[in-house]
Amino acid sequence: MRTISILGATGSVGASTLDLIRRNRDQWRVVALTANCSAHELAALAREFEAEIAVVGDDSCFTDLCATLSGSGIEAAGGREALCEAAARPVDLTVAAIVGCAGLRPTMAAIRQGGTVALANKEALVSAGEVMTAAVAQHGATLLPVDSEHNAIFQCLQGGRIEDVRSITLTASGGPFRTWTHERLAAATPAEAVAHPNWDMGAKISVDSATMMNKGLEFIEAHHLFPVGLDHLRIVVHPQSVVHSMVEYRDGSTLAQLGPSDMRVPIASCLAWPGRMDTPLAPLDLAAIGSLTFEAPDEDRFPATRLAREAVHAGGAAPAVLNAANEVAVAAFLAGQTRFTHIAVVAERTLQSYNPPAPAALDDVLSVDTEARTRAREILETAAIG
């Protein structure tokens, strides 16, 4: 029986992971489950899976967690330090699925144990790429990518050599607004933005998909995971979301990973790695799908991929600034405080106004993140955004 901790157990990735564990209970022992708050949901999961510890990152939810777990024998904890302490418990596999920069410290704590980390928090590598990959090398940890695109690349590289790779192509669905005009995009609502045509994801990630920022952040993440050089990374829009990414080798062969639009596929790949495991998903029916189409990204209507590419080329703190500004702008959009089309504008203006030194440690990354958020909020509040 293998041990596992899930950081972000009540989110979409956490729920999909627990669904697979639920179907294979004899193979896994759950050590730690965490959530930002959601105390009652977290407590129910901790009881169901007989976790050793349940942790809420928000201190204000700790009392409810303790009350709900009373008499269970399951340890309860609250606060950011408690998240890191839970993440540092030795396990065979840690699933790092806390959304945003809130997941940086817990993910780093898991890496420092030298174990295997299934990384679903893309912001970790976007904001702290050099710092985090250095820690992976220093502590002998193993990173397994959970994002469907990066997991697809990981699978396509099995048995191959990175030196033989000519290019890597990330596929993007194009989101729910792929065919919308500039005018219609300006009037898009949060409800429309989170209604992804293919994937069932959380609100923030769904908005990132709609702006194409999700693909831009994945471009930066791929740069750190697969060192083929920025000029050998591509993005292509693939509305069917059947081909999850492709690797072209120098002999002209291109390997693609295909599968259902369900996060349980890449999660199962990580859970079973280096083997395979059953999932409850129906086999892919290509005849029923009928056709697969591809098109170039439109960076006029969706400038986020351009911003991400420029940020990673600039290097240093630019990707962290981009990520922080985007999180602030997306939160403002979801709260009805700014337009959909202003998200990329806020990100670009924050990048233009803030160019700090390259982070040398995690504390530097978090400092950049804090200042970038402050500047993004100021832009939202004071600047006239056309």
Backbone angles phi, psi at 8, to 5 degrees: 100, 50
Reported confidence tier of residue 5, pLDDT bands at 50, 70, 90: very high
Considering the domain boundaries, does residue 65 fall inside one? yes
Q: Are 144 and 107 in contact (CB under 8 A)?
A: no
Rounded Cα distance, 80 and 84, in Å? 7
CATH label of the domain that carries residue 127: 3.40.50.720
**109, part of any domain:** yes
Name the β-bridge partners of 169: 234, 246
Two tokens at 205?
């990630």
Q: How many domains does the chain have?
A: 1
Contact 223, 122 (CB under 8 A): no
Q: Determine the average pLDDT of the residues in 292-296.
A: 97
DSSP structural state of residue 246? E
User: Does 19 reside within a domain?
Assistant: yes
Q: Structural domain of residue 10, as residue ranges?
A: 2-146
Q: For residue 260, is the peptide bond before it cis, meaning its omega torsion is within 30 degrees of 0?
A: no
User: Is 374 inside a domain boundary?
Assistant: no
Q: Is residue 164 part of a domain?
A: no
Give the pLDDT confidence of 311-347 residue by residue, as tens digits: 999 999 999 999 999 999 999 999 999 999 999 999 9
pLDDT over 70 (residue 198): no
Within a domain: residue 363? Answer: no
pLDDT digit string, tens, across residues 139-196: 999 999 999 999 999 999 998 999 999 999 999 999 999 999 999 999 999 999 998 7
Residue 231 has pLDDT above 60, yes or no: yes
SS3 117: strand
**Can you tell me whether residue 187 is helix, strand or coil?**
coil
Instruction: For 32, list phi and psi in degrees, rounded to 5.
Output: -130, 140
356: in domain: no
**C-beta of residue 333 within 8 angstroms of C-beta of residue 141:** no
Q: What is the DSSP letter of 295?
A: B
Q: Take residue 169 and report the two structure tokens written for it.
A: 């192509």
Q: Is the pLDDT of residue 382 over 90?
A: no
On whether residue 224 sits in a domain, the answer given is no
Both tokens of 70, joined, read: 């009373």
